[in-house]
Amino acid sequence: ATVYGTSRDPETRARAIEAGAAAVFDSEADWPVRCEVVLESVGPATWDRSIGALLPGGRLVVCGGTSGPVVEVNLPRLFFKQHEIIGSTMGGYGEFDAVVRLVEQGLPVAVDVELPVSSYPEALERLATGRHVGKVVLRHDGESGGERGA
């Protein structure tokens, strides 16, 4: 698959390119691509652009709503373009176990930063500003692994 990404933060966009994305766009501007599948995890702030990025017959997979829980759906656009909107909880316990086994076998996991649990406010700030590329990990042992890719 060709992977495109979005972010409000220029540094995050550059890091996504380094990680292998074909292109990364400002999430607050129009996206100059049309795709078969769009993963939507933000909600109202990016909903219209996500729908607009779908090719006819495309699928929008919704797995989050960090900017809020309510969006509007333009019904004529939905049925004339024959779009599918699919909700996903990102898997159940069985899928989680399968992914854990894949990670144990070497599947890479993108970790943006590792912080001690005492840095929880900093971790939330990083998530809220969209500055992360990958997972933000909190460690109970008080040791920080520092930022990745920085």
Sign of CA dihedral 122, 29, 35, 86: positive
Amino acid making up residue 117: V
User: Distance between CA 93 and CA 91 in Å, rounded?
Assistant: 7
Contact 112/130 with Cβ under 8 angstroms? Answer: no
pLDDT at 92 (0 to 100): 87
Confidence at 144, pLDDT banded by 50, 70, 90: low
Secondary structure of 98-122 in HEC code, one letter for each residue: HHHHHHHCCCCCCEEEEEEHHHHHH
User: Distance between CA 103 and CA 80 in Å, rounded?
Assistant: 41
User: Distance between CA 39 and CA 43 in Å, rounded?
Assistant: 11
What's the pLDDT tens digit per position in 55-94?
A: 999 999 999 898 999 999 999 999 999 999 999 887 889 9
What's the pLDDT tens digit per position in 97-129?
A: 999 999 999 999 989 899 999 999 999 998 888
What's the pLDDT tens digit per position in 23-54?
A: 999 999 999 999 999 999 999 999 999 999 99
